[in-house]
Chain A
Amino acid sequence: MAQTIAVVDYGMGNLHSVSSALAHVAPDDQILVTADPTQVQAADRVVFPGVGAIRDCMAEIRRLGFDVLVRSEVASGKPVLGVCVGMQALMNHSEENGGVDCIGLVDGEVKFFGEPLLDAGGQRLKVPHMGWNQVAQTEHPLWAGIENMSRFYFVHSYYVQAADPTLVVGHTHYGVDCHVALARDNLFAVQFHPEKSHTAGLQLLKNFVNWRA
């Protein structure tokens, strides 16, 4: 049966990619890019994306009351997917822009990669962490059909460190151990961009669309 998937629009960056990737994996569903809380509440699933600087993102999220909305949507039990800054915004606090308090739905910090960032061999790593990196998966329905250690597309200068290691279902190493996928009940959040991660990313979105959380 056709369902409605709301992509929460708080005016930050490109939601076209997320909605067109969702439309690609769920051609019969209705994909709504919306800033209307009523539409979000009425949707069967919610995607909470985000790109850009966290200070501006959080300012818009608060101004629009979306911190409260995202909390209640997650509490409602429907599947919610956070992407990139949409994941970072769920944490307690970010080091970006001199320090910004976030929604605090998941305990943990968003930290800067550091300068210089070095790999195990002492070579300097570029920041932002930009490009295709491997994700070590912990079993979860959203990884179905995606080979462990598959590559996803990342672009970020800050990374998540969740307080509770049992919530971490995806790790990527880039100079430091990054928590790149978190799962708690009906909530799933990823640092990478599934909508830009070709086959593996589309499969993850497809799994989300079909997820019975």
Chain B
Amino acid sequence: MGLAKRIIPCLDVENGRVVKGVKFLDIRDAGDPVQVARRYNEAGADEITFLDITASHEERETTVHTVESIAAEVFIPLTVGGGIRTVADIRRMLNAGADKVSINSAAVFNPDFVKAASDRFGAQCIVVAIDAKRVSAEGETPRWEIFTHGGRKPTGLDAVEWAAKMADFGAGEILLTSMDQDGVKSGYDLGVTRAISDAVAVPVIASGGVGNLQHLVDGVIEGGADAVLAASIFHFGEYTVAEAKAFMQAQGIEMRL
């Protein structure tokens, strides 16, 4: 008996459509978010993450109605992120049917917001999203830095230290995206995934770079991730969630089949 590792399809939503880009650029359409979410719910996904990828820099709020529609028929946990900056934003998303909210830039600008959010709503619904980029040169001790605004702005914050601080401030989970790997399909950045998984007591979701099912296995076994997030391999029908689970289980990872 044990806790299963989770597979989390991620819906990056822009202007009401699910999209997927490479390194946050070169966007490709992947459908209507409610239909996509419904499909993953039926396919055996363990959770769904909904990220309004334009919210942060265009000052737009995540579409509450889409979240409401998804929540009305998706009976697995739903995390919503993108433009979550205030306690009121969180309350609005939770009332719309989200189970967790993902806080990214706002945590960097005001770390105490994470504390306030966690105190108010409980750590179980506060995910802190970290976009990390490797900043050390080849041969140096590996070091990763936090970037905001879709990977455009460096912050000078060390990713591993930041993750530990966020867990101390009340994050119930860390969603770790490797900016170098995002959309590249060559696998997660296992170095930063392992470093952060070892550094924090809360669950870590690996994100960014999945191109095949072995990458999911590597994220769990080598990266130490508790959950693996992927988008394009599922959106464009390369693999089903069931195939991914069967493959991971066959490699000795406990899954919900």
Q: Which residues of A contact B (CB under 8 A)?
A: 13-14, 16-17, 20-21, 24, 51-53, 56, 115-116, 119, 124-134, 136, 149, 151, 153-157, 172-174, 193, 195-198, 201-202
| Residue numbers in B under 8 Å from A195 (CB-CB) | 75
> Does any Cβ of A come within 8 Å of B73's Cβ?
yes
Chain B 84-115 near chain A by CB (<8 Å), digits 1 or 0: 00000000001111110000000000000000
How many angstroms from the CA of A149 to the CA of B256 in the assembled complex? Answer: 11
Given known contacts A13-B121, A14-B98, A126 and B202 CB-to-CB distance under 8 angstroms: yes
* Stretch of B1-9, B176-184, B213-221 with 4 or more beta carbons under 8 angstroms from chain A: B1-9
Q: Are B72 and A119 in contact (CB under 8 A)?
A: no
Chain B 114-148 near chain A by CB (<8 Å), digits 1 or 0: 00000111111100000000000000000000000
| Residue numbers in A under 8 Å from B250 (CB-CB) | none
How many angstroms from the CA of A127 to the CA of B201 in the assembled complex? Answer: 6
Q: Are B73 and A24 in contact (CB under 8 A)?
A: yes
Nearest-neighbour CB distance to chain A for B68, whole angstroms, equals 8
Q: Are B172 and A13 in contact (CB under 8 A)?
A: no
Residues of B in contact (CB 8 Å), total 37
| Residue numbers in B under 8 Å from A151 (CB-CB) | 4, 256
> Does any Cβ of A come within 8 Å of B230's Cβ?
no
Nearest-neighbour CB distance to chain A for B147, whole angstroms, equals 25
Question: Besides the contacts A133-B3, A151-B256, A193-B77, what 4 more A-B pairs have beta carbons closer than 8 Å?
Answer: A16-B68, A17-B99, A24-B73, A131-B6
Q: What total of A-B pairs shows CB separation below 8 Å?
A: 112
9 A-B interface contacts by CB (under 8 A): A13-B94, A16-B71, A17-B97, A52-B122, A128-B173, A128-B202, A132-B46, A134-B1, A156-B124
| Residue numbers in A under 8 Å from B201 (CB-CB) | 115-116, 124, 126-127
Q: Are A136 and B1 in contact (CB under 8 A)?
A: yes
How many angstroms from the CA of A198 to the CA of B124 in the assembled complex? Answer: 19
| Residue numbers in A under 8 Å from B2 (CB-CB) | 119, 133-134, 173-174
| Residue numbers in B under 8 Å from A51 (CB-CB) | 121-122, 124-125
| Residue numbers in B under 8 Å from A52 (CB-CB) | 120-122, 124
> Does any Cβ of A come within 8 Å of B36's Cβ?
no
Q: Are A196 and B1 in contact (CB under 8 A)?
A: no
| Residue numbers in A under 8 Å from B5 (CB-CB) | 131
Query: Considering only CB atoms, which chain A residue lies closest to B42 in the complex?
Result: A198
| Residue numbers in A under 8 Å from B46 (CB-CB) | 131-132
Q: Are A153 and B172 in contact (CB under 8 A)?
A: no
Q: Are A197 and B75 in contact (CB under 8 A)?
A: yes
How many angstroms from the CA of A153 to the CA of B172 in the assembled complex? Answer: 15
How many angstroms from the CA of A126 to the CA of B122 in the assembled complex? Answer: 16
| Residue numbers in B under 8 Å from A124 (CB-CB) | 201
Q: Are B226 and A131 in contact (CB under 8 A)?
A: yes
Q: Are A196 and B95 in contact (CB under 8 A)?
A: no
How many angstroms from the CA of A52 to the CA of B227 in the assembled complex? Answer: 22
Chain B 190-210 near chain A by CB (<8 Å), digits 1 or 0: 000000000001111000000
How many angstroms from the CA of A151 to the CA of B71 in the assembled complex? Answer: 21
Q: Find the residue from B94, B95, B124 having the highest chain A CB count within 10 A.
A: B124
Query: Considering only CB atoms, which chain A residue lies closest to B77 in the complex?
Result: A196
How many angstroms from the CA of A149 to the CA of B2 in the assembled complex? Answer: 11
| Residue numbers in B under 8 Å from A126 (CB-CB) | 201-204, 226
Q: Are A196 and B119 in contact (CB under 8 A)?
A: no
Partner of A131 from B71, B98, B203 at Cβ < 8 Å: B203
Nearest-neighbour CB distance to chain B for A138, whole angstroms, equals 15
| Residue numbers in A under 8 Å from B226 (CB-CB) | 126, 130-131
Query: Considering only CB atoms, which chain A residue lies closest to B227 in the complex?
Result: A131
> Does any Cβ of A come within 8 Å of B30's Cβ?
no
Given known contacts A128-B203, A134-B1, A151-B256, A157 and B123 CB-to-CB distance under 8 angstroms: yes
Q: Are A202 and B94 in contact (CB under 8 A)?
A: no
How many angstroms from the CA of A119 to the CA of B1 in the assembled complex? Answer: 11
Nearest-neighbour CB distance to chain B for A133, whole angstroms, equals 5
